[in-house]
Chain A
Amino acid sequence: MAGPRHSQDDPRPGGFAGNLVFLAEDLRAEGVSAGTSELMDAVSALAEVAWTEPDDVKEALAATLAKSPEDRKKFDLVFERFLFRASEEAAIREGVREGDASQAGDQAAGDDAAFDEADLRDAIMQAIRDGDEGAMRDLARLAISAFGRRGQGSGVIGVDVQRIRRSLGLRSDPQPDAPQGDPRREGLPREQLRRFEQLLRRELERGAIERTQQLPPSRPLADLDRGLPGSSLQDLQNVHKVVAQLKRRLKTQGQENRGRKRHAQIDVRRTMRASLQTGGVPVDLRYRPVRPRRPEIFVLCDVSTSVTSASVFFLSVLHALHDAFRKMRSFVFIERISEVTEVFERERDFKRVNEAISRDAGVADISGYTDYGRVWSEFREQVEDELHPRATVIVLGDARTNGRDPRADLFADVAAKAGRTFWLNPEPRLYWNYGDSVISAYEQYCEAFECWTTEHLEEFVKALTRPVR
């Protein structure tokens, strides 16, 4: 990434096409899969739009390079960063400086004192409320020079941005004590405010680049995918989205193929059609596709406090699984286990399921800490007769025993009776086996997955729906 790209007297090789390749490289670095065929599409698309329309150029690139909503978001960020860096690089190369011009501007502003702070603040708020991009950009520069003059620059861009924002009193939440007619009364639109902060940041970066005469290393985009269970509300929506997709996939894939041809029924229509090849004599028979059989699944879900945030996620996964598999029994556990299959069958609404389980499952006994040993023995007692080699057991939990005996022998017994056993752990693999986590004791008897982002969940679904043997 570094190296020849940023050397100052050597413009990028390959002219325009080269630049496009660099853009694609930046995109790939952020996880957007932009292949060569996409690049070629991009070039042919660009041939059709007018160069003078920046929006059209950007949209044409986006339509050919970014092919999902997430990719599109990344594309917007990468594209902006790319243009910014490219123009700054060119400015350094050509030796273009703004210093003189802006100093002259400062002089003029200082002279007639047109921009005292209150005026500046009002103008900025107006621009933010109207979403006037051009005005915001100009005002961002004014704000920086106003605060720069007072010697408040800390040198750290993020700190400076927040400092300027605070001293201008820009907030997105309504401030009822602000005077009548002041835009702050209603609160500023969050989106636009963020945009203004971005502009501030960019202008500050520009200033820094001009001072030091070199580009800082490019920052990777903030990790867009936050862990699932950690943060609660807005992510729950994400979880539901993934779970909905999962449902679909399970519908088409979560099945084993069963049966031999002798059980199949003959498809008369297709047999007739095939018989035409042999002059109307039905030589080879066509069969109706065999109905696939769903595997039988047992799910055990930890709902203790150490996994509170994760168990909401797990329960919604459980809920989804229930729709997809006809024969499935679910249990929740802390110290004891309790079968909740009926609750899931009765309630279609996830929220109510959640309530019902926390109300009457009765899984906490005395301490409220997970007791895996007891859970295994109770589980084995309840389902012993039903476990068979085609059954799948899925455990959702963090394997933290609170110092109690893990009783891996009982778990091994369960795993041996069932065909496949999976363990989903909501903790990152890094924390496994630290403290009271005893996942390694169980891991030898089952396939263990870490599961705290939607990607992990998808991986697990792939493993679950993989054909058996």
Chain B
Amino acid sequence: MADSPSSVHDVRAGLKAADYLAGESTALVAYLATKLGKPVLVEGPAGVGKTELAKALSRYLSRKLVRLQCYEGLDEAKSLYEWNYRKQLLRIQAEAEGTGWNSVHDDIFGEEFLLTRPLLEAISSPDPVVLLIDEIDKTDQEFEAMLLELLSDFQVSIPEMGTVRATSMPIVLLTSNNSRELTEALKRRCLYLWLDYPALEEELEIVKLHTPELDDTIARRLVEVVGMVRDLDLKKPPSIAESIDWARALLLLGAEDLDQDVFRETMSVIVKHRTDLDLVAERVGVRLAAGSRGGA
């Protein structure tokens, strides 16, 4: 129904209705993606809501989400298409008698024997979808090159069958944690969106959106502490998802204030490395008010 948003504002409101608070640039780029039909390359640190953006877009536009999780060694057979060779063999055997090779040959390279993988599925779907290619930086450069045809022309060439063109325009999001420099060719074809940790007020809003029951003062305190923790030089700074988890944890525990005791007990929700834990306890923990129970 909301197939074609008419303004940036629409997109923003729509994403919010889908439980995603989009910043100015996020909403704008999402809007441009729907209008221009260009893929979007989303980069940023882990856990700032890159994947979530794709999910929210699919909810907002009520499109199906097709997800391709990338990893090292991902190849065409697992991402694009593969021939269902068992079925093809059966077919050859079943018709072994009497049928000429030519007719069998024409038969077995048809759509019936094609196993569609996420990428082919995304462009051959009758209804437009949102295609999420997650963590593209985990794949090899060869895979990126393979994507180029798909991303610029929305078509896939299958040698035995010909070219499959997109029947509907998917919205494509590629995410990257920036662990590898992507090729210029790929970047050139994409709109670029850099997602960073949100400002204090925005994160507060996000936390409230997901845990509306949490007390306002605790929520604000929590977001401030998370901000402080992110300023430290940690192995893995807490993500937005972890802030939300922490808020939920505090809610479950029925914490009334975020003091040293509560912090020490629940710190592990946002900090996940042993060395980080020590550092955080030392640098952030002491800045909080002394606990009501443990204090002097």
A residues whose Cβ falls under 8 Å from a Cβ of B:
33, 35, 37-38, 41, 44-45, 48-50, 53, 55-56, 59-60, 62-64, 66-69, 72, 237, 244-245, 248-249, 251-252, 269, 272-273, 276, 279-280, 349
Contact = CB atoms under 8 A, between A and B. Distances in A.
B35 A48 contact: yes
Contacts of A37: 188
A248 B182 CA distance: 12
Contacts of B85: 269, 272-273, 276
Contacts of A48: 31-32, 35-36
Contacts of A41: 36, 38, 191
Given A48-B36, A60-B28, A273 B191 contact: no
Contacts of B190: 67
6 contacts: A48-B32, A53-B8, A60-B28, A62-B192, A245-B179, A276-B89
A50 B32 CA distance: 12
Contact of A59 (B24, B43, B108): B24
Interface string B130-171: 000000010010000000000000000000000000000000
Tell me which of B85, B140, B184 has the highest count of chain A C-beta atoms within 10 A of its own C-beta. Answer: B85
B88 interface: yes
A217 to B, nearest CB: 30
B8 A49 contact: yes
Contacts of B83: 273, 276
A272 B89 contact: yes
B180 interface: yes
Given A59-B29, A244-B179, A249-B180, 18 more contacts: A41-B36, A48-B31, A49-B28, A56-B8, A59-B24, A59-B25, A63-B192, A63-B193, A64-B192, A67-B188, A67-B192, A68-B43, A68-B187, A68-B192, A72-B192, A245-B181, A252-B72, A276-B89
Contacts of A66: 192
A263 to B, nearest CB: 20
Interface string B77-115: 000000101001100110000000100000010000000
A252 B36 contact: no
Contacts of A59: 24-25, 28-29
Interface residues of B, number: 38
Interface in B1-46: 7-8, 24-25, 28-29, 31-32, 35-36, 38, 41, 43
Contact of B92 (A38, A45, A68, A280): A280
Contacts of B101: 279
Tell me which of A35, A68, A251, A279 has the highest count of chain B C-beta atoms within 10 A of its own C-beta. Answer: A68
B180 A63 contact: no
Interface string B175-212: 00011110010011011111000000000000000000
A248 B179 contact: yes
A45 B32 contact: yes
B78 to A, nearest CB: 12
B233 interface: yes
Contacts, number: 87
Contacts of B43: 68-69
A72 B194 contact: yes
Contacts of B140: 252
Contacts of B188: 35, 37-38, 67
A33 B181 CA distance: 14
Contacts of B184: 33
A320 to B, nearest CB: 13
A267 B108 CA distance: 22
Nearest to B108: A276
Residues of B contacting A: mostly: helix
Contact of B24 (A55, A64, A248): A55
Interface string B236-267: 00000000000000000000000000000000
B243 to A, nearest CB: 22
Contacts of A68: 43, 187, 192, 194
Contacts of B187: 67-68
B285 to A, nearest CB: 21
A192 to B, nearest CB: 13
B25 A62 contact: yes
A248 B194 contact: no
A33 B36 CA distance: 21
Contact of B25 (A63, A244, A245, A276): A63
Nearest to B32: A45
Contacts of A272: 85, 89
A63 B31 CA distance: 12
Contacts of B275: 349
A288 B289 CA distance: 61
A237 B235 CA distance: 11
Contact of B41 (A67, A72, A269, A280): A67
A456 B88 CA distance: 53
A280 B92 CA distance: 8
A2 B41 CA distance: 35
A174 to B, nearest CB: 14
B95 to A, nearest CB: 11
A72 B72 CA distance: 28
A-B pairs with the 8 shortest C-beta distances?
A67-B192, A67-B187, A48-B35, A59-B28, A59-B25, A273-B85, A63-B191, A63-B29
A69 B194 CA distance: 7
B41 to A, nearest CB: 7
B74 to A, nearest CB: 12
Contact of B32 (A53, A60, A276): A60
A401 to B, nearest CB: 37
A41 B89 CA distance: 47
Interface in B50-91: 72, 83, 85, 88-89
A209 B64 CA distance: 56
Contacts of B179: 244-245, 248
A121 to B, nearest CB: 27
A245 B180 contact: yes
A90 B3 CA distance: 42
B28 A56 contact: yes
A67 B32 CA distance: 15
A251 B71 CA distance: 13
B189 to A, nearest CB: 8
Contact of A276 (B28, B88, B181, B192): B88
B265 to A, nearest CB: 26
B233 A237 contact: yes
A35 B101 CA distance: 51
